[in-house]
Structure 1
Amino acid sequence: MADTDMPMPTPTTPPLPLQRYKLLSFDVYGTLIEYKQHILSSFTPLLTRLPPSSPYRNSTPLNPSLAHCATQGDISFLKLFQQQEDRIKLELADHPLRFDEVLKEIWRRIAKTIDVDTSEHEIDAFGSEANIASWPTFSGTLDALRILQNTGYKLVALSNVDRFATDITWASTGLGSIEWAKVFTADDFGTTREDLELADQRKFEALLEFAGGSGVERSELLHVAQSLGHDHKPAKDVGVSSVFLVGDGPVWGKEGESRMAVEKGLVGYGWRCKDLREFAGIVEREMKS
Structure 2
Amino acid sequence: MNLDDFDVLSFDCYGTLIDWEAGILEVLRAWAQEAGSELSDDELLTAYGPNEAGAQRDSPAALYPRILAEAFVRTGDTLGISVSADWADKLGASVPDWPAFADSADALASLAQRYKLVILSNVHRDGFAGSNRRLGVQFDAIVTAEDVGAYKPADNHFDAIDGVLDRLGVPRSRLLHVAQSLFHDHVPAKRHGLASVWIDRRHDRPGWGATPEPSEEYSFDMRFPSMAAFATAAREAHPDA
Same fold (TM over 0.5): yes
Preserved CA contact (<8 Å) 2:96 2:128: no
Does 2:190 correspond to 1:230? no
Aligned pair 1:85/2:52, yes or no? Answer: yes
Task: Tell me whether 1:148 sits opposite 2:111 in the alignment.
Answer: yes
Q: 1:227 to 1:106 in 2, by over 3 A?
A: closer
- Work out the CA distance in 1 between the residues paired with 2:82 and 2:125: 32
Letter in 2 for 1:164: D
Contact 2:63 2:123 in 1 (8 A): no
Q: Partner residue of 1:242?
A: 196
CA gap 1:265/1:35 in 2 versus in 1, 3 angstroms:
closer
Of 131, 139, 145, 1:180 maps to 139
Which of the residues 190, 201, 210 maps onto 2:155?
Answer: 201
**Deviates most, 78-87 or 199-208:** 78-87
C-alpha deviation, 1:165, in angstroms: 1.4
Structure 2: gaps (5+ residues): none
- Shift in Å, 1:116: 3.6
1:56-67 matches, within 5 Å, as: 57=38
Q: Is the 8 A contact 2:23 2:95 kept in 1?
A: no
1:282 and 2:214 matched: no
Answer yes or no: is the 8 Å Cα contact 1:224–1:242 preserved in 2. Answer: yes
Change (3 A) 1:286 1:90: closer
Give the Å deviation of 1:185: 0.4
- Structure 1, unpaired ranges of 5+: 1-14, 59-72
2:231 aligned with 1:269 = no
Letter in 2 for 1:88: A
CA deviation vs aligned residue, 1:225-277 (integer Å, no higher than 9, x gap): 1111221222222221111111234324249x9xx98xx99443222111111
Structure 1 pair 51–284 and aligned structure 2 pair: CA distance change class (3 A): same
RMSD: 3.0
The one-letter amino acid paired with 1:186 is A
Counterpart position of 1:166: 128
Judging changes above 3 Å, is the alpha-carbon distance between structure 1 residues 236 and 111 closer, same or farther for their aligned structure 2 residues? closer
Identity %: 29
Which of 99, 114, 135 is 2:64 aligned to?
99
Q: C-alpha distance in 2, partners of 1:92/1:207? A: 22
1:36 equivalent in structure 2:
21
In 1, the alpha carbon distance for the partners of 2:44 and 2:198 equals 25
> How big is the shift at 1:139?
1.4
Deviation at residue 121 of structure 1 after TM alignment:
4.4
Structure with greater Cα Rg: 1
Query: Which secondary structure does the structure 2 equivalent of 1:200 belong to?
Result: coil
Selected match of 1:74 from 41, 65, 80: 41
Task: Determine which structure has greater relative contact order: mean sequence separation of CA pairs < 8 Å that are 6+ residues apart, divided by chain length.
Answer: 1
Q: Distance in 2 between matches of 1:254 and 1:111?
A: 19
SS at match of 1:48: helix
Q: Does the 8 Å contact 1:189/1:199 carry over to 2?
A: no
2:79 & 2:220 partners in 1: Cα distance? 39
Task: Provide the C-alpha distance between the structure 2 equivalents of 1:126 and 1:199, rounded to a whole number of angstroms.
Answer: 22
Cα distance between partner residues in 1 of 2:159 and 2:233: 28
Q: Does 1:127 align with 2:103?
A: no
Residues in 2 aligned to 1:105 and 1:271: alpha-carbon distance in whole angstroms: 35
CA 1:37–1:249 in 2, change beyond 3 Å: closer, same or farther? farther
* Number of corresponding residues: 238
The residue that corresponds to 2:169 in the other structure is 215
